[in-house]
């Protein structure tokens, strides 16, 4: 069991679980919609909106006055200017829509501009990743630690790729080519929150991606740091939420990855 779980984190876990229950039912129904081209996309949009609504209702009930930054609702300032929840109702919507059980609800908590807690919940697998600043990272109450590999040659690295209509394909291709040349493998699973959680759990050795939103990464950054990893933007700074780039790894691989990515054109 976690040595300590604050009331705020309990509230975040409860909200994620409540919002996740209907998503499991939706996920089961998606098979019936695969025959319709339009069906799944509309279905996912309404699932997204409903999930965010449940999260905001549950979190507001327990923490009235806190602000929100969410994928669907954007920024909502609360009476309490020092706290803000950063939420992604379904991270990995393409996976969700295709019946791939790799997506998550992500909730980060910011206090006075600093990320202090995170919950990432995959409702299909019932995996709950939690972390609080100064109190460690956990998966279903089991303590997490980043992997200890020191050489890129034995490392498995996760990334995300820009999809249709997004910029950055050439740079992503160049970066992938560089990383492929020196590592044991690259994985692209399609949900940044879970990529971050899996680095915290030691499953991936590192993860990098560009073109992300704050709600994709807020909770995962807390998890990685509390599991003993390093989290920066791709320039090595602390501007992840604003500039939408992230690089996470252990203390040995992080500087190596940073150097590799900096040396890549595109």
pLDDT at res. 209: 97
State the average pLDDT over residues 93-114. Answer: 94
Q: Is a pLDDT exceeding 60 seen at residue 159?
A: yes
pLDDT at res. 168: 83
Domains assigned to the chain: 7-143 (3.30.540.10), 152-262 (3.40.190.80)
pLDDT at res. 40: 66
Contact indicator for 157, 206 with CB cutoff of 8 Å? yes
pLDDT at res. 99: 87
228-241 pLDDT tens trace: 999 999 999 999 99
Query: What backbone phi and psi angles, to 5 degrees, belong to 137?
Result: -120, 145
| Per-range mean pLDDT, top range of 5-9, 33-37, 196-200 | 196-200
Distance CA 192, CA 172 (A): 15
Phi and psi based region of residue 228 (left: phi greater than 0; alpha: psi -120 to 50; beta: remaining): left
Q: Is a pLDDT exceeding 90 seen at residue 163?
A: no
Segments in 78-231 forming alpha helices (H): 93-97, 169-182, 192-200, 214-226
pLDDT bucket at 38, cuts 50 / 70 / 90: low
pLDDT at res. 161: 87
pTM of the model: 0.94
As given in the structure block, the two tokens for residue 121 are: 């919940």
Question: Regarding predicted confidence, which is higher, 152 or 41?
Answer: 152
How many Cβ atoms are within 10 Å of 74's Cβ, its own excluded? 8
Query: Mean pLDDT across the chain, nearest whole number?
Result: 92
pLDDT at res. 39: 62
Q: Is a pLDDT exceeding 70 seen at residue 109?
A: yes
């Amino acid at each position: 069991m976690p040595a300590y779980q604050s009331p705020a984190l309990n509230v975040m876990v409860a909200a994620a679980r409540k919002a996740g229950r209907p998503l499991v039912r939706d996920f089961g129904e998606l098979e019936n919609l695969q025959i319709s081209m339009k069906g799944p996309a509309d279905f996912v949009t309404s699932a997204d909106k409903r999930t965010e609504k449940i999260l905001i209702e549950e979190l507001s009930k327990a923490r009235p006055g806190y602000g929100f930054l969410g994928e669907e609702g954007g920024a909502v300032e609360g009476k309490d200017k020092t706290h803000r929840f950063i939420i992604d109702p379904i991270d990995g919507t393409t996976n969700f829509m295709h019946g791939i059980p790799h997506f998550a609800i992500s909730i980060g908590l910011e206090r006075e501009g600093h990320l202090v807690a995170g919950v990432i919940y995959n409702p299909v697998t019932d995996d709950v990743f939690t972390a609080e600043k100064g109190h460690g990272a956990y998966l279903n109450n089991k303590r997490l630690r980043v992997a200890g590999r020191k050489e890129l040659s034995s490392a498995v690295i996760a990334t995300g790729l820009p999809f249709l209509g997004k910029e950055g394909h050439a740079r992503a291709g160049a970066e992938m080519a560089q990383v492929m040349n020196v590592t044991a493998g690259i994985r692209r699973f399609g949900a940044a929150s879970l990529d971050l959680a899996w680095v915290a759990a030691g499953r991936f050795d590192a993860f990098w991606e560009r073109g992300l939103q704050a709600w994709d990464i807020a909770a995962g950054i807390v998890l990685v740091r509390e599991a003993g990893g390093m989290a920066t933007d791709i320039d090595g700074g602390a501007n992840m939420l604003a500039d939408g780039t992230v690089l996470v790894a252990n203390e040995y691989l992080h500087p190596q990855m940073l150097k590799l990515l900096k040396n890549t054109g595109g």
